[in-house]
Amino acid sequence: MINRSLEKQIKEKTGSGKAIIILGGRQTGKTTLLRYLFGNTHDVLWLDGDEPDVRAVFDNPTSTGLKNMLGKKKILVLDEAQRIENIGLKLKLITDYIPGVQVIATGSSSFDLANKINEPLTGRKWEYRLFPLSFSELLSHTSVMEETRLLGRRIVYGSYPEVINNPGNEKEILKQLTDSFLYKDILMWEGLRKPEKIVRLLQLLAFQTGSEVSYNELGKNLDMDNQTVEKYIQLLEQTFVIFRMPALSRNLRKELKKSRKIYFYDNGIRNALIANFNPPELRNDTGALWENYFISERMKYLHYNNMWVNSWFWRTTDQQEIDYIEECDGKMHAFEIKWNTKLKIRISKLFLSVYPDSVTTVITPDNYMDFLR
């Protein structure tokens, strides 16, 4: 068991009178974490929203029926809760009318997809995200020397728990993840039988990691209209496969305003989609892999440490750019993310003139750990 960063926060919030919601992609370890925390507790009722009989229980629930179901149990753990229609309203019913019962629900897609009523749990929940294993979690389990040695493998195979725990079987595991679990929720919500269009869209996005993404170009390649492309991208984001990053635009006419980049939550998934597991030294996309790795790991770090920031990339019409920018409490920090430590990197003078109070850093394999632990 690799200790997870959310353990302490979940323990502290248990018994608070609010529902605890843990969202994250399938196979990121949500159930394993809860089994570790509550598996030896006799007061827990475990239910799985993937099971038809469990969904049937929540079809037309009443507080009396839910009380009978819970009996003397003090904790309800509901896995894959997004499978239950209007799950937020039903969790609210338990929270409001059955005091003393701690609700803990996990979801491998956003509850927004299941909730037809907006924000029924407002003010009644603690919500967390569980990602594939973070650099900090792995570092606590291994060592600085070990993680330095394994960096090349991390940016190729990613950090899903099963991948990390089964060295030598990474390709087979990632193929299973991308063939089945990755699409399970999005196929359910869209009623699609075959994921060919989604797979093709993900492959196109994988080849554009670190670059600006045009919905129009994607639509032409997929024979889809822009609205359908955007809808699928939103669904992939809500099922925690990818995430979008907007462009920063405030002060300069040359700044790109409506552009976006798209990153994968896990490098291994990205590489499995394009069937390329070559080591970094044999690839022509290592820079893009390194950028995806650092930004996704930085996002995990910020979330687990309760740091609230705005995030962007920056680019102008004449191709001046900054890979990644954070703003926290009015302070801007600009990052250039480079795999090759031998190159001399200069931060855009135009950016520094427009945002003169910014702190600038070049992220390389030599210093990245300082920003992820």
Domain of residue 78, CATH code: 3.40.50.300
- The reply to whether 2 falls in a domain is no
What residue ranges of the chain have pLDDT lower than 70? 116-118, 181, 183, 188-194
Strands 260-264 and 242-246, sheet pairing:
antiparallel
Judge contact between 209 and 288, C-beta under 8 A. yes
Q: What is the pTM of this model?
A: 0.93
Residue 20 lies in a domain: yes
Identify which of 163, 161, 186 has the alpha carbon closest to the alpha carbon of residue 174: 163
pLDDT in the model for residue 263: 97
Q: Which of these, 150, 151, 147, lies nearest to 136 by C-alpha position?
A: 147
Q: Which of the listed residues 92, 111, 129 is the one where a domain comes to its end?
A: 129
Verify that 158 and 209 share a domain, yes or no.
yes
The verdict on residue 1 lying in a domain is no
CB 198 within 8 A of CB 192: yes
- Say yes or no: 143 and 60 in one domain: no
Per-residue burial over 18-33, b if 16 or more Cβ lie within 10 Å, else e, is bbbbbbbbbbbbbbbb
The pLDDT of residue 77 is 96
Same structural domain for residues 187 and 100? no
Give the model's pLDDT for residue 191: 63
Residue for token digits 């594939």? 132
Q: How far is the C-alpha of 338 from the C-alpha of 53, rounded, in Å? A: 51
Q: What is the CATH number of the domain that holds 280?
A: 1.10.10.10
HSE, side-chain direction, 13 A CA sphere, residue 369: 16
- Of 82, 104, 129, the residue that ends a domain is 129
14 assigned to some structural domain: yes
Query: 180 with 287, same domain?
Result: yes
Domain check: are 34 and 112 in the same one? Answer: yes
**Do 15 and 117 belong to one domain?**
yes
For residues 171 and 52, state if they share a domain: no
Give the per-residue pLDDT at 184. 72
Is the domain of 140 the same as that of 259? yes
> Which amino acid type is present at position 274?
I
Report how many domains make up the chain: 2
- Do residues 56 and 155 both lie within one domain? no
pLDDT of residue 186: 73
Last residue of a domain, one of 74, 98, 129: 129
78 and 155 housed in the same domain: no
Domain range for 247: 135-371
In terms of domains, do 244 and 344 share one?
yes
Within-domain flag for 16: yes
Say if residue 300 is in the same domain as residue 170. Answer: yes
pLDDT score at 18:
93
